[in-house]
Each structure stands twice: as structure tokens, then as C-alpha cells.
Structure 1
């Protein structure tokens, strides 16, 4: 990155300037679905088959001067060779499409090759040059060629016109970088530093300066968001990065991140930020049908979107969902695609993890094969990324789906039905050999059959008119495609297994267990990454699964709160173990709740390991005849957004009474909610949070017992994820230095060493209690608060 050089890749240049026409999701099964992993493999295979005079992966670069700066256009030609005295630029495209339906090269693909031809022709002083477009079907490996030859002056004129189109965008970037850099130099940390906060911000900056990765365990109250955003912005000002990606799993934390940037803008920071919201939430239509027949914003979208983007960039700096929607309506473009285009020109991108890490939906403009940028990753609530990554890099197929699609399609396309039957027979064979679940060493035979099926499905989707059958087939096709793409990733970090599911269906799953390698593939596309959370213990577990490099930096930020603000009690005469569950134990838990709320009127949350236990303890609690003024709320399964808001609103109004919320640990109310001061004065956590025993957890346990010298299978599969839920739930109580509250852990296992060693340092001061001793401890604590 340089103040006087604007860089753009050849691919980004042509895709941005030359796009036109409609958004049309009906074409998704064809030329638009290039796959990163499979595409790279087929590239290498074709390149190896070429003659000795064929040069593969040739880097090309050209600098185009402007008035005060230079535009650097760079890329990598797939191949260059000489045939009969003529230089040929070879551009290879691996696509999922029946090539019989491809009558000529895709416009932006050919433009990419022409750029390489111009750059190479200019460098070598050639008078003419040829281009060969090599298309290969990724399933069948069938190849189709399109060749053309150009006189160099023709290419020069064409490339000059392309750069002229791009010039106003380059001018904007150059001017904006100067404005941004000047403004960054003047900003200060927006608050007085809390204890340890300045050192934390310094650690973040130092990590970015050294282009490393940092893991931060930082308790609530440290101010993690501003302590990472501020030094990251400063790092951009010192040219240690160009874009900040603030990644999180929850909407509320995206809002907090946006507020951090806004705080810095109050000091004069000029910094363009965008919040990427899910497509279904941004869609302006009643039904999300992304094609010109159903959506007026899809029709002609690419003809209007560049003007819309430029107009917004020159008007605003903070691109929230509301700003983007309003501007998209004005220009009649798709709000979601418009948002993605705006992100290209932003300095800060606030989004969900999947836009960076998920191979199905990652932002290809930033993270496609061969693209590396000056990116700084801030990964909030990083404890969530372990399970999210397992979902992203795993894939499953259900045997019954093959039979269902066969019923739908057999009358209209017997060839597809035949391939469906072939796959189903192989799945049936696996089913017969599986009792509950079964690990498989290899499924190569099934994959070959699945690739044949995918090829036939592609032909059908290319030819069949839009109707209900096509929609069903398309949805199934995307599941097949996802499975094949994930199979390309399968290695020693995966287990392949079959399973009889509880609903009676039979599934085949590619299960990503150890996530670090897949995550690192995307982390390596940036300069630096900072993982942070209030619950990132033990750090070595998260480092192992999120980066895999035990040399990464790690820091523990001390709590800024006084120990006297909180009473931490462990109930040693109660248990949530399966062997102890029953009416007597539920009655004991209910008595603990009653005693806790008796000593101080206020709001409390009680967290349970399951809905069933929650309901059983609630019934026991009601039988104790609690204070008639006590209000009880129960979390319901699958609560809609409005229902969640109504639940939480009860904690922010009418504080002169006792309110008890019965919730599920690890659910929507156990993390990401911010109830300050009197809005919450106690959390009661029932159980150790251990996930339920199931086939997948047992596969995890077995894998880590076999792959680690310490045989930490139980810890990796159950203990660490469970304690994370406990720590998250407990973290709801003390949110500010004015908060006071009680945290009650109800399970005798919390007295055992393997659990206590996972307590954070600020939990060093805690007490054990029983039903007979808790009253005195609560009375002493609340009386002690009166003097503060």
C-alpha cells in the first residue's frame, strides 16, 4: 500500500467496469458458480499437461500514470506459450456448467485475458498476440476452447478505454486516502484509560505492526471494542493496513462496533464504514426472488449500480442498513448487492464471520483465490467461531432427499433419475452397515457417482424453464454442490461418518473437527488478526482451533471491577448430573432461587442446561408459593425477534419489583445482552453447561483422544464448550463499575479441580454454600453494598 499508488487486480477491474444487465439467480447453476478449491485443482492439472514451452501462473503488472499518483493493475496469467510464432495468453476457467450450452467466452472472462494480453504485449513489444479461453467442467473435466487474435494497437485502445472508465474511481481513492490519513493523525482515545486498557490497545497496535495474530481474554468492562478499533484505525494511519474487518456473530455487537467508529468521528475522523446485513433482511420485496421477472431492482441492476455507489460515497461516511436501503430505493438497485459494492470502497467493514470465512458466501471481491489484501481482522466474541467454523466447513447429505427428488424428476428427465438411483444405492449400502453411527475411511466411489449426478443436474437446470420442479431441483443441486466442494477440503482434520438420525432419516456427513487449517486459509489473506472475547479460556484450546499456531501472541486483560461488587457462590449440595435429576433435586434448585431473590428485590436470570429442566424447576418454584409480586418469564423455543425484545424490555421497566427470567444456557439470553446496573442484579446458573452426549460429540472426543498426546477428548468435546456457556451466562451480571450482583453456580462439580482451573482469575475469590448457609452469605453481601 502506498499513498501515491492505487492498486487493483485485473479481475476486479474488469468485473467492476464491464458488468451490465440483470441480477438473475436462475443462472447460478452455470457459469457464475466457480469453485475456489476445485478450480485451483483443475488449473494445476491442465497446466501440468501442457508442453515444456508453457509457462504457468505468470505474474503481470502495469503502472498507468495519473496526475498525482499511479494506478497499478496486476494479476496472474494462467498460462503463456508460443504457437507458430504467435504468443498465446491462456485463461483457464473451471465452471459448473454443461459446456454444450456455452457458445462463446463470458465477457468478463475474455476481458481479463485481454488485459493480460495487453500487459504482456506491451512489455515484450509484440505487434500482435492471441488469447485462448480454456473452459473446463469441474465435474466431467470436459474442456472447450475459444481462441481469438488481436493486433496490439487494438488492445491498446481497448485497455485505454477501460482505464479511462476507472479513472474517476481511482481519483476518488487517491483523494480519500489523503483525507483519511490526515484525520487519523488527530484522533485520541475517546475516554480516560481504565486500568490495563492502554496496555491492551498497545498490544493490538504492536501485533499489527509485526503482522502477527493476537488472542485476548478480556473480562466485561475492559472496553474490548474501542480498545481494538482505536489502535486498528491508528495502524491504518501508519499504512500497516488498508481495511479493517470487524467480525462478529451477533447483531448487537455489530451495533457496538459501529458506535466505536462513530465516537472517533466525533473527533474529526474521516473513515467510511459499512454494516453488512443479511440478504433476507435487506430485501425490498415480499419474496426473495432475485431475477428480473420477479424483482424490479434486479432488472438492470448492474446498469445503474455504479452510479448509485459513487453518489453515496461522495455524500456519506457511515453506511448503516437504513442509509443503504434509502439510497438503493432511490437508484432502483438491489439493496444487498449495493451494500456489497459499497463495501469495496470502505475503510471499515462490520459483518458476520461468514462473509470472511465461509466458503459458500465469503466476499469474493476481497478473498477469492489469489487475492490478498492489506486487511486487519478484529474478531469479536471469538469463542463463537469454533462451532461456527465447524458448520462452515462441514457438509451433509440426506439419503431420503435423493428419493424425493427422484419422484419429482423421473417423469421429465430419466437420465437424472438414473444417477439419483445410483447414488441412493450406495447410500443404502452404507445404511445397512451402520447401527447408530459409523466412521468411514473413504467415500471415493460415492463421490464419483455424485459428480455424475451433479453434471446431469446442471444440464437439467440449464435447459428447464423456471417452475416448481426446477426450484426443488436447484435447492437439492446446491446441497450436492456444497458437499462436493467441502469434499475437496477433506483431510486429516475431518471425519466422514454416517448416522441414523433421531427423525428416522439417514445422513452422510463430512465433519470438520479441527478448524484451524481452513480458517488460516482466509486469515492469511490479511496482514494481521486479533481474536478477543470475555470467555476465551483456556487460551491454548482456542489458539489450537482458530489459528493452529501456538506461537501466536496471547494476553489476559485484568478485570477493572472491584471484587466487592460481586458475590460468587458455588452451591455444593446440588447437582444437575443425569443420575441425580429428579423431583427432589429440582425442589432443591427451586429453593436456591427462592432464597436468592428473597434477600433483595430486583431482576434475576436463571440459566438451565435444557428446556425440560427449566420447566421442571419452574413448576417446583411455583409450588414454593413465592412472593405474589414476583414476575416470572420463561424463554420459549424459537422466539422471534419481537418476542425477544419484549422479554428483555421487562428488565428495563418497572424496576421496583422482583422479576425472574428462566432461560436456557447457551441460548439467546445468555450472551450478547447488556443489562446494566439495576436492570440485572443476579444470575443463577444451573449445571456445568456440558453439551448433551450425542454421536457428533463422541466423534469429537474420540478424535482428540487419538490426535493429542494429552488425550483431551473429553475437554475438547464437552468441558471447554460447557464452561464457556457458564462464563458467558455469568458475565451478564457485572457490566459497569456501578453494577453489583450475585452469581450463583448450582452444581457440586464446580468444586472439582478440572472445573475450578477454568475459572477466570477474577473468580479467585468465591465461596461455597449450601441451602443452610446461603441466607447468611447473601444477607452479609447486600448489607455490605450499602456502604458503597
Structure 2
């Protein structure tokens, strides 16, 4: 017989939620209570005396029949307390809250429901005619306690519980039937293509890594078929109940589309999966700017009254739930699309989203990753070279002193307590500022005083927000204007993030202060090596597969991405014929800062002119900075080309529609040459897929070295000290990755033909050639004069 297991808390919060969507029901709810709750629970449990039994594990299995299917539902959890009095046995449910307990007229329904579940299980196990239910609310700032107590008969309790399970049975029976259908379809699934060279090795490597609970690092050039080679074995493991859920994690929107396309392919092979693509709130919100409150958003008003019906409708009518699908159903049911997508993910086999949904301490999906235990999840991490810098950012935090003064000015007329707490933090930052001329490193002890003050501030702010949402009838508060409230909330989340990151600070961090360009003092918690933090999150899954076309040097990425000694690494050979790709290095160009002269810009422009003149088509030229791009663009525009060309350049902070318009200029079989000028590492430097004649050549100007700045110099200093590899880790490896990605735009399929020109003499140095992928050998070393002949011969042979 099928068995479904669910915790008491998850059951009642899912079935019984109702009302409006607001900040307290999304990001703010229980933010501090999660930390303080354990302390409050233990304190009240100790005070209750010897006859009070704390943290009692309870579990009950019920047989349920729904829609012709009979199965078992096991509900389990821990009662905060069980005690007896003159009336009999009682269940105690303890809740630490920031809301003023005197504004409560009755127990919150979801809290009461948790106690009722424990009461039913305990009454069944001990054959009781009835049981007492007590909800204990403790106001965290003052530790004042308020009780809501009732006695309920067993018959009434059983009837209530049966109704609760009947509501959940609809979902459980759907899940059982879906998973049975899914697994039967997966059993007959064969690899949908003929295996390319090395692809069979990839598929086997991923499957064995899942079976053996390993982490796998794959370097696979474009065209190998990384996406299908990782998804296919992961899906097979799902069908065999080896894994439970697949997370396809990416850094860019376009790579999520590639994953969706692969799922559509599997659907054509009669293997549909329930998948959902998670989109950032700012991009999927119906409003121009997200406002999670019923006063400003009709979709937030009554959201929880409708969202379960919306999700069930979606799940029973769709399989691959893209951004557009989510928007369609959210509009139909008048619910928040972002929150609806998160709820849908609970029931899906395959979840597509940004890295932060799995690894970011402030944004990870709590419904999957809040408990420190291993789950049968598979993480497929696409373009994983991006995760190194992204992880450093996710595990870092900073505070600006002047923000505390701005928030004090904003709130002082409404809350003297919040204003005073802000002032205390400002003074602590002022002490640190006084010892900082330009840049100053601090040890852990020097910042402890500030962090204690931040803890007090966040507690007081939490209470203030609760007062704003639930004003005391005897002490009404003046509500904040929406814009002020948004500013204060954003600031609150910043200090909460800083506190959370502070808990992670160890030898992989440095703490330092410096100044912004306008003289504001900033305190940084900078993660230098993210491997230890990533490891904590990777352990919550069964297997992690990291894959990229540019994973060189592999030892660097394995080390930074939490590789272990017994984890695997695979190199997949390129499927392309070397005759269809021409790689040239211009030996008489340097992009070193001291050589960036007008003469050098003119030489680069001449190289570009000659490169694109060899054959009509579409080209991209990548530069290390906007400044150099603009200088060379001016030189290209000074004189007309022999034949007319279209010249487009990347702009700073391009919106999604502007990026799409830029790429639309690169059409199949163009009537004239089109050239796009771009910046390495930017939105067109990786992830774009211009196949066949949509792109036939790329010029990469410079070695991609990141700019010399405070942060990069700190990385260099740190890794020099730790490993003697400071320049490589801070500059050379990240720079070369941008070069490899930019060059990788040219050859996308086995039918593509294209030329690549690298312009910098440093590419001839041994330290750079060691970072070349195998397929970049042999290559041609050229000058402006010799390049023309080499290009003409290449295009003659491939026409």
C-alpha cells in the first residue's frame, strides 16, 4: 500500500492557510523567531516543572480512500509539551512571537491546528475521551506570556482531524497516481539521440555519481550535449526512486530555456515531467514594482484563500510550467505568480531556477533546505564556472554607516526605540571608522559590539513592524507611508543578512572597512573561499553535477566548488571537426594598461576590419571594457568599409527587451555583414546561442583580466598567503574564463563553421597556453598582414 509522510506543521500550514499575502507572510515572518524560538521554548519548558514532558515525538498512520485509491498518510512531529492537571492530559504548543500578545483575541488558527493534531495522536495512543489544548504565546522582547486554553472531546477532535486529512487526500492521491505514471514512462525511456563521442561516458558518469552520492565536475565543450547528458541520467534515477527531485540551477535566464527545451523533448518521447521554472519576483510580478500587501496589489488580497486551488488546477492541466504558464494561471486565479510558483515547486519533479534558490542563505527554498539533513535531491548546476563568484557574493555582506542615520531620520517621529537602536549601531560603526584611513582589516572581536547592537536593533524593528501591522487598540501607532515602509524593510533585510553571514565568518573570510566614492564608510564581511559554505548546502542533496564548457583549470573549480578527494571529474572531447574552426592569435597586440594608446586602438581596429572583410557574415567583437570598446568603435567609424556593414554596440545596463533586439540583428544568411561590439563577461559574453550562419566569427581583445580594485587585490593577497596563487586566482583564471566563453559563441553545433581571433601577445605565454582547451591546438600565430592569407585559405576550404 502507498504511504505518504508529512509533518504536522507542513500539513496544517498547507491546508489551513488563508487571508492576504503580506510582508509578514513572506520574508519577514518569523525571521527572528527562528533564532529566538528555540531559546524561548527551552526556557518555558524548564519552568514548567518535572511533570511537564517536553519535545514528545508523536506519529500516527491513517488509512484513507480518495477517488478510488486507498493509501496511508503518516502524520508526525514533536509536541512542545504534554502535561496533566486536574482535568486530565493537555497538549502545549509554544510560539515565540514579536507581535504584541495583547492584540490577540484568540489563538491563531494554524497554531491551534498543530496542537489539535498532536492532541488527536496522543488521545488515540492513550485511549482518552478528550484532551486539553493550550497555545502558549511568548512575546520575545519582553518574555511576557499569554495562554489560550480549551478542552475538546475525542469525538469532536476525530471529526476535525478526518476533515483535515480528507482535504489533504486530494493532493496525496494525485501525487501517487502522477508518480506511478511518471515512473512507468521513464522505464521505457531511451537516450533520444545517437551518442556523440564522449557523450556515453558523460551519461554513465552522471548516473554513477547519483548512485554513489558523489559530486561530479564535467568540462564539456559546446556541442557535446551537456544538457541532455546530465538531465537524462538524472531522470532515469528519478524513475527508479533513487532520487526524489531534480534541481536544474543556472546563472542566466537563457540557460533555463535550454533546460525547458530538453524537457519538451522528453515529453515528445512520452516522458512528461512536472517541472516549474522559478523567476525572480521583480521579473514576474504583475505590478511595475513588487508590493506584497493587499492595499497595493489585488493579487495579494485573499491570495492564500485561492492559491491552493490555483496550484491544483495548474498541476492537473500542465506539465512543463514555464514563466508564461505561471503568469496565465496566476491571472486566472488572482494570486501572486511568484508565490504560486514556489508552492508549485513542492509538487514538481524538476525545478529550474537561479543558483540562489539552493545555495543562498537568505533566498534558498526553506521548504526544501531548512533542515540540515541529506535529501534524495540531485543538483544539476549549469555554467558552473559562474558559481564561484556568485557564491562569494551570496556568502558576503556589507553595511553602510550613513544608512543608519538615514533610517533614524525616517523613523524617529514614529518610534523613539527604533531611532535609539539605530543610533547605537551608528556609534559602533563610527568607532570602526575612526581607525580606518582608506582600508582597514578588523578581527572578529573588534566587530562583536556592533553585532550585539544589530541583534537588538533587528528585534526592536521586528516588534515595530508587528505594531504597524497589528496596532494595539489602546495604543494606536501612526502608519508609515508605503515608500518609507519599503525603505525600512529593505534596510531591515540588509541587517538580518549581515547577522546571518556573520554567523558564518571563519578563516575563509576577511572583515574590512573602506569608503565609497562619496565618502561613506562601509563594513564588509567578505567571503574569500566559498567552498566550506557551499559544502553545507550541497550536503542537503544526494548528488551534485557541475558542468561547464569552460572549467579550466579544473583543480581550481573543484577546490572552490567544494570538491572532495573521492569526487569525480570528466573531460568530454569536442565533437567538432578541427577543420571547421580557425583559431588565430595576433602576436603584435597588447592590451596592458600602459600600452592602451591611440596607435594600439588603431591596430586593433585594423585587425577587426581585415577579419570581417574576409567573408560576408555576422561577427562579434569582445573587449575588456566599455572604454576600449568605444575607442575602437570610433576608429572603425572614421573610414567607410569597402562594402556596407551594420555596426551595433552593447550598452550599459541593457534591459531584457534591448538585449533581445540586439541579438535579432544577427539573422541567418545575412544580406550584408553585421558586427556586434560587446564587453567580455557581459550579457553577450556567454549563454547566447547564435547557431549556423547567425555567427561565423569572433574577435576577443585582451585576456579578460578583471580590473584592479580593492576586492580583487584582497583576493590576490588572501590566495597568495593561503596557496601562493594570488594572481592566478584573483585575475588570470577568471579572466581566461571570460575569454573562453566569448570564443565559445562561435561554434554551437556540429554543422557550424567559424573563425576566432585572440588579440593579445600574452596568449602566447606558457601560463596562458596551459589554460587553453585541448581543441584549441593547433592554432595559428598571425600578424595583420599574415592573417588575411590564413583567413582566405580557411574560408576557401569551407565554402
TM-score range relative to shorter protein: over 0.9
Given that residues 680 and 704 in structure 2 are in contact (C-alpha distance below 8 angstroms), is that contact kept between their aligned partners in structure 1? Answer: yes
1:588-619 C-alpha deviation (Å, 9 max, x unpaired): 22222122122222211111111011111222
**Alpha-carbon contact 1:32-1:95 (below 8 Å) kept:** yes
Q: Deviations over 1:543-570 (max 9, x none)?
A: 2222242322211111100111111112
1:349-384 Cα deviation digits (max 9, x unpaired): 111222222222222222223575432221111111
Deviations 1:490-538 (A, max 9, x none): 2232222111122332211222222223223332222222111111222
Find the aligned partners of 1:31 and 1:102 in 2 and give their Cα distance: 17
Going from structure 1 to structure 2, the CA distance change for 1:43 and 1:715 (only over 3 Å counts) comes to farther
Partner residue, 2:701: 686
Moved more, 511-520 or 183-192: 511-520
Matches for 1:99-118 after TM superposition, within 5 Å: 105-118=107-120
- Could you say if the C-alpha distance between residues 746 and 374 of structure 1 is closer, same or farther in structure 2, counting changes exceeding 3 Å? same
Cα deviation digits, residues 36-92 of structure 1 (max 9, x gap): 667668778888999898877665433222355544435542755656797776655
Question: Could you tell me which residue of structure 2 aligns to residue 206 of structure 1?
Answer: 208
Query: Match of 2:476?
Result: none
Aligned-pair CA distance for 1:633: 1.2
CA distance in 2, matches of 1:544, 1:711: 15
Q: How does 1:9-88 map to 2 (within 5 A)?
A: 9-25=7-23, 31-33=29-31, 59-67=57-65, 70-77=71-78, 79-80=80-81
Contact 2:7/2:77 (8 A) holds in 1: no
Answer yes or no: is 1:589 the counterpart of 2:604: yes
- Aligned pairs for 1:349-428 (under 5 A) are 349-369=351-371, 373-428=375-430
Give me the whole-angstrom Cα distance separating, in 1, the residues matched to 2:616 and 2:511: 53
Within-5 A mapping of 1:500-539: 500-539=515-554
> Which region of structure 1 is more displaced relative to structure 2, 147-156 or 291-300?
147-156
Matches within 5 A, 1:138-287: 140=141, 142=143, 144=145, 146=147, 148=149, 153=154, 155-287=157-289
Per the alignment, do residues 323 and 545 of structure 1 end up closer, same or farther by CA in structure 2, a change over 3 Å counting? Answer: same
Q: Distance in 2 between matches of 1:46 and 1:722?
A: 56
| Preserved contact between residue 58 and residue 78 of structure 2 (Cα < 8 Å) | yes
Instruction: Provide closer, same or farther for how the CA distance between residues 531 and 130 of structure 1 changes in structure 2, counting only shifts above 3 A.
Output: farther
Q: Give the superposition deviation at 1:641.
A: 1.7
Which residue of 766, 775, 781 corresponds with 2:788?
775
Give yes or no for the alignment of 1:728 onto 2:728: no
Aligned residue for 2:471?
Answer: none
Q: Quick one: which of 705, 713, 718 aligns to 1:703?
A: 718
CA shift digits 1:8-29 (9 cap, x unpaired): 2322211110101111226668
CA distance in 1, matches of 2:10, 2:359: 20
Aligned to 1:611: 626
* Contact 1:71–1:170, Cα closer than 8 Å, also in 2: no
Q: Residue in 2 aligned with 1:580?
A: 595
Flag the 1:128–1:699 CA change in 2: closer, same or farther, 3 A: farther
Partner SS for 2:347: coil
61-70 vs 212-221, which moves further = 61-70
Judged with a 3 Å threshold, the aligned counterparts in structure 2 of structure 1 residues 30 and 356 are, in CA distance, closer, same or farther, namely closer
- 1:493 aligns with 508
Stretches of structure 2 lacking an aligned partner (at least 5 in a row) = 469-478
**What's the secondary structure of 1:222's corresponding residue?**
coil
Kept in 2: contact 1:208–1:376 (CA 8 A): yes
SS of structure 2 residue aligned to 1:342: helix
Q: 2:754 aligns with which of 741, 744, 749?
A: 741
Indicate if the aligned counterparts of 2:98 and 2:463 stay in contact, CA closer than 8 A: no
Go from structure 1 to structure 2 and tell me whether the alpha carbon gap of 1:45 and 1:352 turns closer, same or farther (over 3 Å shift). Answer: farther
In 2: Cα distance, 1:37 partner to 1:387 partner:
29
Report the Cα distance in structure 1 between the residues aligned to 2:659 and 2:149, rounded to whole angstroms.
Answer: 60
Give, in whole Å, the separation in 2 of the partners of 1:130 and 1:694: 64
8 Å CA contact retained: 1:26, 1:291: no
TM-score by length of 1: 0.92
Is the aligned partner of 1:445 residue 2:443? no
Q: Which moves more between the two structures, 280-289 or 631-640? A: 280-289
**Whole-Å Cα distance in 1 between the matches of residues 95 and 532 of structure 2?**
26
Cα pair distance change 1:397/1:135, threshold 3 Å: farther
* Closer/same/farther in 2, CA of residues 557 and 29 from structure 1, 3 Å limit: closer
Which range moves more in the overlay, 549-558 or 456-465? 456-465
Stretch moving more, 623-632 or 476-485:
623-632
Which residue is equivalent to 2:644? 629
Counterparts in 2 of 1:365 and 1:69: CA distance versus 1, 3 Å: farther
User: Any idea what SS the aligned residue of 1:66 has?
Assistant: strand
Q: Which residue of 2 aligns with 1:675?
A: 690
Q: Distance in 2 between the 1:518 and 1:148 partners?
A: 44
Q: Would you say the 8 A contact 1:325–1:335 is kept in 2? A: yes
Contact 1:98 1:458 (C-alpha < 8 Å) held by counterparts: no
CA distance in 2, matches of 1:568, 1:41: 63
| Aligned positions, number | 781
CA distance in 2, matches of 1:65, 1:371: 28
Q: Is the 8 A contact 1:29 1:458 kept in 2?
A: no
> What's the TM-score, normalizing by structure 2?
0.91
Q: Which moved more, 1:14-23 or 1:479-488?
A: 479-488
* Deviation sequence 1:227-276 (CA, Å, 0-9, x none): 11111111111111122111112221111111111111112113211122
Partner Cα distance (1:371, 1:127) in 2: 38
Q: Say if 1:50 and 1:371 are closer, same or farther in 2 by CA, change over 3 A.
A: farther
Question: Is 1:63–1:70's contact at 8 Å kept on the other side of the alignment?
Answer: no
